Amino acid sequence: MSSIINICWLRRDLRLEDNVALCESLKKGPTLVVFIFDKCILSELTDREDQRVSFIYDSLREIENELQKHQSSLFIAYGDPVEEIPRIVKKFDALSVYYNRDYEPYAKKRDKEVERELKKINVNFYDFKDSVVFEKDEVLTKTNNPFKVFTPYKNRWIELFESQNKEYEYYSCDLERLLPWDNPQSILKYDWYQKIGFKKKDPILPGGRSHALKRINKFEERIYEYHENRNFPSIEGTSLLSVYIRHGNISIREVIKLAKSQRSEGHKSFLNEIIWRDFYQMIFDVHPHVTHKSFKPEYDQIKFLGTDDDFLSWCKGETGFPLIDAAMRCLNATGLMHNRLRMLTASFLCKILLVDWRKGEKYFAQKLLDYDLAANNGGWQWSASTGCDAQPYFRIFNPYTQSIKFDSDGDFIRKWVPEISHLRGKEIHHPNSLTAPKYISPIANYEVNRKKCMMMYESIKNK
């Protein structure tokens, strides 16, 4: 093999278009595209039919189809990237490794170890910003420190974006410069499911760039009402793009292009969500301790009173609170949960059932198709009032009023809690044993536990 070969290592950027690392690699010479099924990550998954693995698998098959049009192929490996990347480099006698940055603690540690091993064999490595608009050292306070509160961060983010006159930057990847080779273990003909020890399970949202583009085009028609419709789980009011952004089937620049294409309230609201995403990625990059601890250390002293039975009931969607149960059953069946319901179920678990927010965060991590560590952790700490710029601890969602407000006709509840589907009007939000004998009675008293929650947090605040 010629020593001018480069390797582009795909991770959470599963696309061949508008990919910064791939574009830069191709500029420098023939490039081999590589993906590693990371054994360290896969070993944490308990479900051997995890639909997220199938989402990634389908994305890789699309990439392979495109690569083969250019007489190339995706090199896939299974193992620890710290060992696999140097092995692949040696196999192809590659000169350099290119990849896009990842800001999660495990990924940062892994990448440093990979770089250390590459240095030992005199191989260059280049990393790029690709998955966010701004990184941690770009959006800073007047004293050059990272923000801890979202609104001033957002204002500075917008100011920077507009001052830099950031138009949509499309990174054109010259795929004609791909390394030509015939791969005997192409994902189109080799059973990588068996190799990694998983089974196929079709995800509710199929993986791949073609599906991502269909989704973004569909959302473009509805984005004008996004600010109003995004709160109602019974209608398709959200973008459903998060899983495609998470795995990089589309670039953050393509999403920004849509958000900035018009100035409607819907477009502004959608842009706000993109900025929240950058904010949480920045928080994780600057404060990696939030992986296991509260952003506000004093809240690690809270003694949560909830029981394992309470947590199990919440997981199963058997709490006796209709909208909570509907949301959890939907999550368990599909891997999807509406953003409004993520906030509501999280608040309910830690502030009404009084269960440690970390348990809920971990459960979401096991179930969410679009699971993203920074966003998931940020959302849970916001709901638990332990994070940066979190919901004040004394604001506790009332599951009954939230149900009436955001699922007034009970359509979402009826779909996922069939034992009360016969109820009409407000009765569906607050059923009783007479009207719904097959439905579980509430496992907690909202008013009583709300007061207990306030006392839990005030005991910490008053220390």
φ, ψ of residue 184 to 5 degrees: the values are: -70, -15
Q: Which residues face 77 on adjacent strands?
A: 36
Distance separating alpha carbons of residues 158 and 149, to the nearest angstrom: 15
Give yes or no for a contact between 25 and 6, defined as CB atoms under 8 angstroms apart.
yes
Asked whether the CA dihedral 247, 127, 111, 276 is positive or negative, the reply is negative
Instruction: Report which of 441, 459, 463 is spatially closest to residue 451, judged by C-alpha positions.
Output: 459
Question: Secondary structure of the chain: what % helix, strand, coil (to 5)?
Answer: 50, 5, 40
Average pLDDT over residues 71-78: 98
Residue 366: its H or E element: helix 357-367
8-state DSSP, 418: G
Spell out the domain ranges in the chain: 1-123, 133-169+209-286, 297-461
Dist CA 82 CA 13 (whole Å): 19
Q: Residue 285: which region, alpha, beta or left (left: phi > 0; alpha: psi -120 to 50)?
A: alpha
Domains 133-169+209-286 and 297-461 share a fold: no
DSSP per residue over 283-345, as a string? Answer: HHHH-GGGGTS-SSGGGGG------HHHHHHHHHT-SS-HHHHHHHHHHHHHS---HHHHHHH
How far from chain centre, in Å, is Cα 384? 19
What's the pTM?
0.96
**pLDDT score for 373:** 97
* Pairwise CA distance, residues 332 & 330, whole Å: 5
Q: How many Cα atoms sit within 13 Å of 183 on the Cβ side? A: 24
Per-residue CA distances from 273 to 150, 250, 269, 402, 431 (Å): 11, 16, 7, 21, 35
Quick one: fold of 297-461? DNA Cyclobutane Dipyrimidine Photolyase, subunit A; domain 3 (1.10.579)
Q: Write the pLDDT tens digit of every residue in 197-236.
A: 999 999 999 999 999 999 999 999 999 999 999 999 999 9
Report pLDDT digits (tens) over 134-160.
Answer: 999 999 999 999 999 999 999 999 999
Q: Does residue 350 contact residue 304 with C-beta atoms inside 8 Å?
A: yes
Average pLDDT over residues 295-324: 96
User: Contact 253/348 with Cβ under 8 angstroms?
Assistant: no
Q: What is the pLDDT of residue 444?
A: 97
| Among 99, 34, 81, residue whose Cα is nearest residue 60 | 34
Residue type, 283: I
Q: Is the pLDDT of residue 422 over 70?
A: yes
Angle in degrees, 0-180, between the axes of helices 322-334 and 308-316, rounded to the nearest 10? 70
Q: Is the pLDDT of residue 61 over 90?
A: yes
Q: Is the pLDDT of residue 104 over 50?
A: yes
How many other C-beta atoms lie within 10 A of the C-beta of residue 378? 26
In contact, 430 and 401? CB cutoff 8 Å:
no
* CATH class for the domain made up of 133-169+209-286: mainly alpha
Tokens for 455?
Answer: 């006392």
pLDDT at residue 1 greater than cutoff 50? no
Q: Which two tokens stand for residue 440?
A: 């579980």
CA dist 117 and 131 (Å) reads 25
For residue 4, what pLDDT is reported?
A: 82
By the 8 A CB rule, do 398 and 446 touch?
A: yes
Q: Cβ distance 55 to 245 under 8 Å?
A: no
Distance CA 321, CA 350 (A): 15
3-state secondary structure of 249: coil
Examine the pLDDT at 166 and tell me if it is beyond 90: no
Any idea what DSSP says for residue 275? H
Could you tell me the pLDDT band of residue 452, with boundaries at 50, 70 and 90?
very high
Sign of CA dihedral 83, 86, 91, 96: positive
pLDDT the model gives residue 357:
97
pLDDT for res 3: 53
Q: SS3 for 233?
A: coil
* Angle ∠(375,381,385) on CA atoms, nearest 5: 145
Distance (Å, whole) CA 309 – CA 306 = 8
Other C-beta atoms closer than 10 Å to the C-beta of 455 total 10
**What mean pLDDT do residues 69-92 have?**
98
What is the pLDDT at residue 125?
Answer: 97
pLDDT of residue 170: 85
SS3 label, residue 349: helix
Strand, helix or coil for residue 101 = coil
When pLDDT is averaged across residues 398-421 and rounded to a whole number, the result is 97
The CATH class, in words, for 1-123 is alpha beta
